Amino acid sequence: MAAQETMVSSGSKITPSMFDEAFWPAEPRTIEETGLTDSLIESLVCQVLQLSGTASGRRIAERVGLPFAIIEQMLGTLRTRQLVVHARPAAFNDYYYSLTENGRARAQQLQKTSTYSGPAPVPLAEYLVSVEAQGKNFSPIRRPHLVEALKEITYEESWLDFIGPAINSGRGIFLYGSPGNGKTTLAKCLTAAQGQSVWIPHAVIDDGMIIKLFDQSVHQKVSNNKDSVLMDASSYDQRWVRIKRPTVVVGGELTMDNLEIRHDPRSNTCEAPLQMKSNCGCLLIDDFGRQRIAPSELLNRWIVPLENRIDYLTLPTGKKICVPFEQTILFSTNLQPEALVDEAFMRRVPFKIEIGDPSENEFRTLMRRCCEELGFQWRPRAFDYLVHKHYRSVGRPFRRCHARDLIHQIKAFCAYTGGPLELREEYLDLACRNYFGSSTANLPAVPPQAAVNNAAGPQTVMSRTMPTSAANDGNYQRTMVVTPTNPPAPPVVNA
pLDDT tens, residue by residue, 188-232:
777 666 667 899 999 999 999 999 999 999 999 987 654 443 444
What pLDDT is stored for residue 261 in this prediction? 96
**Which secondary structure element, helix H or strand E, spans residue 460, and what is its range?**
strand 459-464
Rounded average pLDDT over 102-126 = 94
Q: What is the dihedral of CA 426, 427, 432, 437, to 10 degrees?
A: 90
Domain tally, the chain: 3
What pLDDT is stored for residue 191 in this prediction? 66
Asked if residue 448 has pLDDT above 60, the reply is no
436 and 337 assigned to the same domain? no
Q: Contact, 343 vs 169, CB < 8 A?
A: no
CATH of the domain at 90: 1.10.10.10
Q: Contact, 177 vs 183, CB < 8 A?
A: yes
At 265, give phi and psi (nearest 5°).
-65, -25
200 and 106 assigned to the same domain? no
Rounded average pLDDT over 459-473 = 38
59 and 101 assigned to the same domain? yes
pLDDT tens-digit series, residues 48-91: 999 999 999 999 999 999 999 999 999 999 999 999 999 999 99
pLDDT tens-digit series, residues 337-346: 877 777 878 8
307 and 393 assigned to the same domain? no
Buried b or exposed e, range 400-416, using 16+ CB within 10 angstroms: bebbbebbebbbeebee
Lowest mean pLDDT among 106-110, 124-128, 257-261, 485-489: 485-489
- Which range marks the domain in which residue 43 is found? 37-111
Instruction: Give 3-state DSSP helix, strand, coil % of the chain, rounded to 5.
Output: 40, 20, 40
309 and 367 assigned to the same domain? no
pLDDT tens-digit series, residues 25-44: 999 999 999 999 999 999 99
What pLDDT is stored for residue 224 in this prediction? 60
More confident residue, 451 or 437: 437
Asked if residue 169 has pLDDT above 70, the reply is yes
The distance of Cα 354 from the centroid of its chain, to the nearest Å, equals: 21
269 and 239 assigned to the same domain? yes
Report the mean per-residue pLDDT for the chain: 81
What pLDDT is stored for residue 187 in this prediction? 76
- Is 27 part of any domain? no
Q: What's the predicted TM-score (pTM) here?
A: 0.75
CATH of the domain at 342: 3.40.50.300
What pLDDT is stored for residue 487 in this prediction? 46
CA distances from 224 to 34, 172, 227, 230, 458 (A): 21, 31, 9, 10, 61
More confident residue, 462 or 418: 418
DSSP per position, 307-346: HHSEEEEE-TTS-EEEEE--SEEEEEESS-GGGTS-HHHH
CA distance 442 to 430: 9
Model confidence at 125, in pLDDT bands (50, 70, 90)? very high
pLDDT tens-digit series, residues 129-162: 999 888 766 677 888 888 888 888 888 888 888 8
387 and 424 assigned to the same domain? yes
- Is 488 part of any domain? no
Q: Is 20 exposed, middle or buried (0-12, 13-18, 19+ CB in 10 A)?
A: exposed
334 and 387 assigned to the same domain? no
Model confidence at 353, in pLDDT bands (50, 70, 90)? confident
- Is 176 part of any domain? yes
Asked if residue 470 has pLDDT above 80, the reply is no
Q: Is 140 helix (H, G, I), strand (E, B) or coil?
A: coil
Rounded average pLDDT over 365-373 = 94
What pLDDT is stored for residue 23 in this prediction? 86
168 and 298 assigned to the same domain? yes
What pLDDT is stored for residue 482 in this prediction? 40
pLDDT tens-digit series, residues 263-315: 999 999 999 999 999 998 888 888 888 877 888 888 788 888 888 899 999 99
What pLDDT is stored for residue 142 in this prediction? 85
Express as a percent the part of the chain with pLDDT over 90: 51
Asked if residue 376 has pLDDT above 50, the reply is yes
187 and 67 assigned to the same domain? no
More confident residue, 33 or 451: 33
140 and 247 assigned to the same domain? yes
pLDDT tens-digit series, residues 247-269: 888 888 888 999 999 999 999 99
**Which secondary structure element, helix H or strand E, spans residue 413, and what is its range?**
helix 400-417
Q: Final residue of a domain: which of 354, 369, 389?
A: 354
369 and 314 assigned to the same domain? no
